[in-house]
């Protein structure tokens, strides 16, 4: 399976960073994104204000390589969900590690991919509204660019077809539609096979559209078993459409599913299906890249203990940390840290204190002792309970692990890659 070409990041590297960007030193000279890694800044030396979101580069690269090896070993490809990071430099790392494409959630996110040269994008949504639909068709005019999007009902297909009439795409580059399969009480997605097939036939009948395949997002389901049922539906519908000869000759047939919680089930169920024609089995996991310290960490333990798929060397580890200062120790058993809802995820568990460091007094960060936990976040403060014996005091630095990378990334216009000594190696600009 050919991967998409590397991205063109020159314009990103050369872009000036607004000196007001959260995370930059307050006395920094005017800098481009590409300059940041050359400053010799070190988090532990106090060269940067806190809070600060950092990604441990060695862990990040190992995670990316792990997923490359995992998909290659199991006849899968990955179009990682770019909405997680919205960082073109990270998209480029994923592409370098063989990503089949990049997935996005919105047309604004598609524009980011186009700007930096991603050549195959899945919009894992039905585009809605004239602005969004017209932008999808305009993108198809770019030589060598392929676009997939979703539809889950005849209304949606009709809106796409009208967009195709307004903006006819090249005959060899239609808008590829993946029919979304859903479940009762779930999010988008056809609730029955009959509706799904009706959508597929409507796509085939519309000018400017082509049936790309079938997909689901299983990540909202509570158990691997429930995910299996939905993934099996996707495979079954692809077979029905193949039997009905709905796919154009010579075009890839895609089956795809979504999250980072059950990606083993996606591979197992798709691989258990005997498709009548070669299909491209596309994972869309996004959170594996930085992994996390809470929910995906737990999901991954289940995966590696249960799966019958081939597991490569190594393992996913948490790469993303937010550092904050202890601001106050106002009463026994309570600390306040300089980090709040605007700096770190709080929708999938409270941040987890990992390591601490006393500037000028310690040679390297040490593990936070047992018994420290964040119990509440305000906009710009974190409330921590801890034992009276806690060594932490105002001015100490604390590194927090996060749950749900998506909602930490989107709180930072710039995150910093760091080496194992917390020296800054690169700035990652995001586009939320």
Query: Does residue number 431 form part of the binding site for a second copy (CB under 8 A)?
Result: yes
**For a second copy, which residue of 11, 141, 276, 380 counts as binding (CB under 8 A)?**
380
What value, to the nearest 5°, has the Cα angle with vertex 67 and ends 66 and 73? Answer: 90
Residue (of 310, 230, 239, 214) closest to 262 by Cα position: 230
Whether the bond between 385 and the residue before it is cis, its omega within 30 degrees of 0, is no
**For a second copy, which residue of 1, 14, 129, 144 counts as binding (CB under 8 A)?**
129
**For a second copy, which residue of 33, 112, 221, 230 counts as binding (CB under 8 A)?**
112
**For a second copy, which residue of 6, 13, 201, 329 counts as binding (CB under 8 A)?**
329
**For a second copy, which residue of 27, 172, 194, 370 counts as binding (CB under 8 A)?**
27
Segment 70-89, which members bind a second copy (CB under 8 A)? 83
Query: Does residue number 229 form part of the binding site for a second copy (CB under 8 A)?
Result: no
Query: Does residue number 378 form part of the binding site for a second copy (CB under 8 A)?
Result: yes
**For a second copy, which residue of 2, 30, 143, 184 counts as binding (CB under 8 A)?**
184
**For a second copy, which residue of 168, 312, 369, 394 counts as binding (CB under 8 A)?**
394
Q: Cα(291)–Cα(35) distance, rounded to whole angstroms?
A: 27
Segment 33-52, which members bind a second copy (CB under 8 A)? 46-50
Contact 107, 135 (CB under 8 A): yes
- Least Cβ distance, residue 191 to a second copy (angstroms): 5
- Least Cβ distance, residue 414 to a second copy (angstroms): 12
Q: Cα(342)–Cα(345) distance, rounded to whole angstroms?
A: 8
Compare residues 78 and 132 and give the one whose CB is closer to a second copy: 132
Backbone angles phi, psi at 13, to 5 degrees: -60, -35
Query: Does residue number 236 form part of the binding site for a second copy (CB under 8 A)?
Result: no
- Least Cβ distance, residue 272 to a second copy (angstroms): 27
Query: Does residue number 188 form part of the binding site for a second copy (CB under 8 A)?
Result: yes
Query: Does residue number 379 form part of the binding site for a second copy (CB under 8 A)?
Result: yes
Query: Does residue number 153 form part of the binding site for a second copy (CB under 8 A)?
Result: yes
Segment 190-209, which members bind a second copy (CB under 8 A)? 190-191
Beta-bridge partner residues of 177:
149, 211
- Least Cβ distance, residue 195 to a second copy (angstroms): 9
Query: Does residue number 391 form part of the binding site for a second copy (CB under 8 A)?
Result: no
Query: Does residue number 126 form part of the binding site for a second copy (CB under 8 A)?
Result: yes
Query: Does residue number 242 form part of the binding site for a second copy (CB under 8 A)?
Result: no
Size of the site for a second copy (CB under 8 A): 75
Token digits of residue 116? 């930096």
Query: Does residue number 336 form part of the binding site for a second copy (CB under 8 A)?
Result: yes
Query: Does residue number 130 form part of the binding site for a second copy (CB under 8 A)?
Result: yes
**For a second copy, which residue of 19, 144, 170, 371 counts as binding (CB under 8 A)?**
19
**For a second copy, which residue of 33, 62, 99, 107 counts as binding (CB under 8 A)?**
107
Compare residues 138 and 302 and give the one whose CB is closer to a second copy: 138
Stretch that binds a second copy, among 59-67, 140-148, 362-370, 375-383 (CB under 8 A): 375-383
Compare residues 61 and 383 and give the one whose CB is closer to a second copy: 383
**For a second copy, which residue of 3, 167, 338, 408 counts as binding (CB under 8 A)?**
338
What value, to the nearest 5°, has the Cα angle with vertex 164 and ends 159 and 169? Answer: 155
Compare residues 131 and 310 and give the one whose CB is closer to a second copy: 131
Query: Does residue number 165 form part of the binding site for a second copy (CB under 8 A)?
Result: no
**For a second copy, which residue of 92, 97, 152, 321 counts as binding (CB under 8 A)?**
152
Query: Does residue number 284 form part of the binding site for a second copy (CB under 8 A)?
Result: no
Contact 64, 87 (CB under 8 A): no
What value, to the nearest 5°, has the Cα angle with vertex 117 and ends 116 and 123? Answer: 95
Query: Does residue number 135 form part of the binding site for a second copy (CB under 8 A)?
Result: yes
């Amino acid at each position: 399976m050919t991967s998409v070409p590397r991205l063109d990041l020159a314009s990103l590297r050369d872009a000036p960073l607004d000196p007001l960007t959260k995370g930059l030193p307050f006395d920094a000279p005017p800098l481009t994104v590409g300059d940041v890694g050359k400053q010799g800044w070190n988090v532990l030396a106090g060269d940067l204000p806190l809070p600060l979101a950092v990604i441990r580069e060695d862990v990040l690269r190992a995670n990316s390589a792990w997923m490359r090896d995992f998909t290659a070993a199991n006849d899968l490809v990955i179009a990682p969900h770019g909405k997680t990071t919205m960082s073109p430099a990270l998209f480029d790392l994923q592409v370098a590690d063989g990503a089949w494409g990049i997935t996005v959630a919105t047309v604004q996110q598609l524009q980011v991919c186009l700007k930096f040269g991603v050549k195959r994008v899945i919009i894992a949504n039905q585009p809605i509204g004239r602005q969004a639909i017209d932008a999808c068709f305009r993108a198809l005019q770019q030589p060598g660019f392929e676009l997939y999007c979703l539809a889950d009902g005849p209304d949606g297909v009709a809106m796409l077809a009208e967009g195709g009439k307004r903006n006819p795409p090249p005959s060899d580059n239609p808008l590829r539609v993946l029919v979304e399969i859903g479940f009762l009480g779930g999010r988008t997605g056809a609730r029955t096979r009959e509706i799904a097939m009706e959508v597929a036939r409507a796509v085939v009948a519309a000018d400017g559209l082509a049936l790309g395949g079938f997909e689901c997002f299983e990540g909202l389901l509570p158990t691997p078993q429930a995910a299996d049922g939905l993934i099996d539906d996707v495979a079954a519908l692809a077979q029905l459409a193949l039997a009905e000869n709905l796919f154009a000759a010579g075009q890839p047939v895609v089956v795809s599913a979504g999250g980072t919680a059950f990606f083993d089930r996606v591979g197992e169920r798709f691989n258990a299906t005997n498709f009548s024609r070669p299909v491209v089995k596309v994972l869309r996991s996004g959170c594996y890249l930085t992994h996390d310290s809470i929910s995906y960490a737990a999901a991954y333990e289940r995966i590696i203990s249960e799966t019958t798929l081939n597991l490569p060397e190594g393992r996913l580890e948490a790469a993303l940390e937010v550092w904050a200062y202890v601001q106050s120790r106002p009463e026994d058993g309570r600390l306040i840290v300089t980090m709040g809802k605007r700096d770190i995820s709080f929708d999938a568990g409270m941040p987890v204190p990992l390591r601490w460091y006393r500037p000028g007094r310690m040679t390297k960060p040490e593990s936070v002792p047992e018994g420290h936990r964040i119990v509440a976040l305000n906009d710009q403060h974190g409330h921590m309970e801890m034992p009276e014996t806690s060594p932490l005091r105002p001015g100490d630095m604390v590194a927090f692990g996060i749950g749900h990378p998506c909602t930490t990334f989107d709180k930072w216009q710039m995150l910093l890659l760091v080496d194992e000594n917390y020296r800054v190696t690169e700035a990652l600009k995001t586009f939320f």
